[in-house]
Amino acid sequence: MKLLKVFTLDGELVTDSRDVAKIIGRKHKEVLAMIEGQVHGDGRVKHIGFLPIISESGLFNPTDFFIESSYKANGNNRTYKSYLLTRKGCNMLANKMTGEKGVLFTAAYVSRFEEMERNIIPLSVKEQFIESMRFSISTAELVQLLGKEMVLLNEKVDNQITLDHGQQRLLQQFISKKVYEFALSKEHKALLFSELHREIKDRFGVSSYKDIKREEMQTVIKYLESWIPKKVINGQKLGWKNHSLTAMRNGLLDI
């Protein structure tokens, strides 16, 4: 494994996210995603990163873990984002990783940070032990807090997310199936589509079936399975298709 580059920034030992990516054998954008999080093209959250959780908690200073930085690529002179990771930031990243690479990265950053710390401020054995205990306790508390914050954020995101394209198509298929179950003609079919869409919007408080929350998908499907038209003939609801056919033959239904 390559030697992790650790340097001092304003008295703080840090390492570059690009070097971290090389050490753990991942693309730099993957490390950025772990730090910042990721979203889908339509704005839905794909992965919640460390920074949003730390920032939203209001309990910790994000720069104690990750310091935003930048660099220029050779050849095109463009500026790209990167992060400087403190020892706390590295520890957080290592806790997220599993397997051999996670173990080796932990060994690499701990060794390099301790080496640099010895060169800067020599500590006694007692002081080293105290610092190590203090760091372990604060990190454990932070990991526990981040776990709780992530659960809350995931619940918040789930409550706000509407149906994706596949779920919208599935719901439209349920709607169509229900309409065709009762439709007697093209004109009648159009009326039923209008009626059912209106009832869905009124019942679930949305402007379109596409705006239904993902968590309500199963509730909507159950509603569709039990739905019958509200059309009334001589005071009787058309509950089943054979009732409608009888009404049509008797001249009770205007189609």
- In sequence order, what DSSP letters do the residues of 172-213 get, joined into one string? HHHHHHHHHHH--SHHHHHHHHHHHHHHHHHHHT-SSGGGSB
Number of domains in the chain: 2
Residues 117 and 231 in one domain: no
Q: In this structure, is residue 254 part of a structural domain?
A: no
The token pair that represents 232 in the structure block: 């009334």
Q: In this structure, is residue 210 part of a structural domain?
A: yes
Cα-only R_g, the chain? 30
Q: Domain range holding 195?
A: 165-249
Q: In this structure, is residue 211 part of a structural domain?
A: yes
pLDDT in tens, 57-97: 888 899 999 999 999 887 777 899 999 999 989 988 888 88
- The last residue of one of the domains, among 160, 193, 227, is 160
Residues 134 and 33 in one domain: yes
Residues 38 and 79 in one domain: yes
Residues 110 and 125 in one domain: yes
Residues 149 and 169 in one domain: no
Backbone angles phi, psi at 37, to 5 degrees: 95, 175
Residues 212 and 179 in one domain: yes
- Give CA–CA dist 209/189, Å, rounded: 18
Residues 87 and 48 in one domain: yes
In the chain, the DSSP E strands lie at: 7-9, 12-16, 37-39, 45-48, 66-72, 79-85, 232-233, 236-237
Q: Choose between 237 and 187: higher pLDDT.
A: 187
- Give CA–CA dist 197/186, Å, rounded: 17
How many Cα atoms sit within 13 Å of 55 on the Cβ side? 11
Provide the pLDDT for residue 133: 64
- Give CA–CA dist 203/201, Å, rounded: 6
Answer whether residue 237 shows pLDDT above 80.
Answer: no
Provide the pLDDT for residue 253: 45
Residues 113 and 17 in one domain: yes
